[in-house]
Amino acid sequence: MHAPKRSIGLIDCNNFYASCERVFRPDLNHQPIIVLSNNDGCAVSRSNEAKALGIKMGVPLFKISDLVREHGVHVFSSNYPLYADMSNRVMAILREYSPVQEVYSIDECFLDLTGFHDIDQRARQIRDRVFRETSISVCIGIGASPTLSKLSNFVAKRHPRSQGVFNFNLLNNKQQESVLKNIPVEEIWGIGRQLTKALDVIGIQTALQLRTADISSMRKRFGIVMEKTVRELRGEACIELTESAPAKQQIITSRSFGQPVTEIEELQDALAHFISTSARKLRAQHSCAALLQVFIMTDRFREDQPQYCPSLALPLMTPTASSMTLQRYAVAALAAMFRPGYCYKKAGVILSEIFPETQFQGDMFAGAPDDPSLMATLDQINARFGKGTLKLSQDGSRRSWQMRQDRKSPEYTTNWAELPVCR
């Protein structure tokens, strides 16, 4: 008996941030929408109607202000709590359709559909149910490898005849070649701008040309990762799906401020908040960090202002995941770096030298070890009643430094005070 053909599905939410805004604003259906990046800078999500107006991904808002006014484009600040909650709802539904799910990003995931009967029909059932229960539209690409499923999703999004589902496995060799020759090489998973230029030099501009390239020469020129990409394009699954993401080896939390910060107290407040966010992620993966790096920086684009961008790394005598302990170190680092007279635009913290909380040796000369029960209680309360319900005194007491979000929609699903009201 032959093993069933490998079938990997890539489910990708369409225009995800913009689609989330529409879920609770049906009056926005068929209206152009864009969602902005941090500090309301650039367009990072666009509805199809906005794309049709020629609004490009990443374009700064000030460059399209006339277009926005002329066509009545609805503009939103990023509403991360809403998007995260809607993502969780979508992923929970998808989890029911496969024993193996890898959540790849906030708006896409892989499912192993190998062995299921009538996979094409199953994919359409998945698509219908996700929309019925969340009002989020998705496209599904299916292939024998993750790379092919990504390309299949690319086809599903751009060809209306596919009705949101494209199964590469159903094509014969001639049909597969016809599809791949019309896909630019830069659309292949893992092929960035520099690789695209390098491939163009040797005459490879399409997915088909890369698929038929000599494997040994590609490995010799570009390395093992490129060899895997070529093999994946040929239907060999070289990238295994992982149901749980590996523990992070570095956790970074940083923000550009909504307005320049000049006072050390405001920087302390920002760093305390960043530490709380990073430490929570650290505890979620049951890890501790042995190195903390703190940085502050002025606006490098303001050449008319003096520049100062210090950074300080602090090795920790005893690895920790305690927000309280890490905040003390961060405040001490800031005190050593801060200089008055500068307009600071950004700050951040980096936790590294991370390993499981059970695998470190204590320092006999260090003070009393952190009590993990306090942080566990804080995390449990916030998980039950909402993020930020219980926090340390210095975490977010000022927030004048917060990023600009002048067009943010309500947190419809995560904030009791902002629930939709029926009239």
The residue that leads in pLDDT, 376 or 56, is: 56
The residue out of 214, 229, 245 marking a domain boundary is 245
Residue 361 is part of a domain; what is its CATH number? 3.30.1490.100
Give every CB contact of residue 348 below 8 A, 6+ residues apart in sequence: 252, 253, 254, 255, 274, 294, 295
The residue out of 189, 217, 245 marking a domain boundary is 245
- Would you list the DSSP string of 35-103? EE-GGG-BEEEE-HHHHHTTPPTT-BGGGGHHHHHHHT-EEE---HHHHHHHHHHHHHHHHTT-S-EEE
- Give me 384's structure tokens: 């039950």
Q: Please check whether residues 123 and 231 belong to one and the same domain.
A: no
CA-to-CA dists, residue 6 to 3, 42, 118, 168, 169, angstroms: 9, 40, 13, 11, 9
Q: Please check whether residues 134 and 278 belong to one and the same domain.
A: no
State residue 243's pLDDT score. Answer: 62
The residue out of 143, 170, 197 marking a domain boundary is 170
39: amino acid identity, one letter: N
Helix and strand counts by DSSP (H, E) for the chain: 14, 12
pLDDT surpassing 60 at residue 2: no
In a domain, 414, yes or no: no
Q: Mean pLDDT for the chain?
A: 90
The residue that leads in pLDDT, 404 or 178, is: 178
pLDDT surpassing 80 at residue 1: no
What is the DSSP code (8-state) at residue 188?
S
Check the CA dihedral 337-342-344-345 and report its sign: negative
Residue 133 is part of a domain; what is its CATH number? 3.30.70.270
In a domain, 375, yes or no: yes
pLDDT surpassing 60 at residue 368: no
Give the residue ranges of DSSP H helices in 181-214.
193-201, 207-211
pLDDT surpassing 50 at residue 254: yes
Q: Please check whether residues 158 and 227 belong to one and the same domain.
A: no
262-295 confidence digits (pLDDT tens)? 999 999 999 999 999 999 999 999 999 999 999 9
Residue 208 is part of a domain; what is its CATH number? 1.10.150.20
pLDDT surpassing 80 at residue 177: yes
In a domain, 401, yes or no: no
**Shortest CA distance to 323 belongs to which of 291, 359, 282, 287?**
282
Q: Considering its fold, how many domains does the chain have in total?
A: 3
In a domain, 396, yes or no: no
State residue 163's pLDDT score. Answer: 94
Q: Please check whether residues 224 and 323 belong to one and the same domain.
A: no
Q: Please check whether residues 83 and 96 belong to one and the same domain.
A: yes
- Give me 343's structure tokens: 């307009």
Q: Give backbone dihedrals phi and psi of 200, rounded to 5 degrees, phi first.
A: -60, -35
**Which residue range is the domain that position 207 belongs to?**
171-245
Q: Please check whether residues 310 and 224 belong to one and the same domain.
A: no
Q: Please check whether residues 55 and 179 belong to one and the same domain.
A: no
In a domain, 390, yes or no: no
Q: Please check whether residues 263 and 218 belong to one and the same domain.
A: no
In a domain, 408, yes or no: no
Q: Please check whether residues 203 and 275 belong to one and the same domain.
A: no
384-419 confidence digits (pLDDT tens)? 777 777 777 666 555 667 777 889 999 998 888 888
In a domain, 301, yes or no: yes
The residue that leads in pLDDT, 325 or 396, is: 325
**Shortest CA distance to 279 belongs to which of 316, 309, 242, 310?**
316
User: Which stretches does DSSP call E strand in 262-364?
Assistant: 287-298, 311-320, 344-356
State residue 364's pLDDT score. Answer: 45
In a domain, 228, yes or no: yes
Q: Please check whether residues 17 and 124 belong to one and the same domain.
A: yes
Q: Please check whether residues 267 and 210 belong to one and the same domain.
A: no
Q: Please check whether residues 264 and 301 belong to one and the same domain.
A: yes
CA-to-CA dists, residue 395 to 67, 157, 390, 404, angstroms: 40, 43, 10, 18
Residue pair 135/23 in contact by the 8 Å Cβ criterion: yes
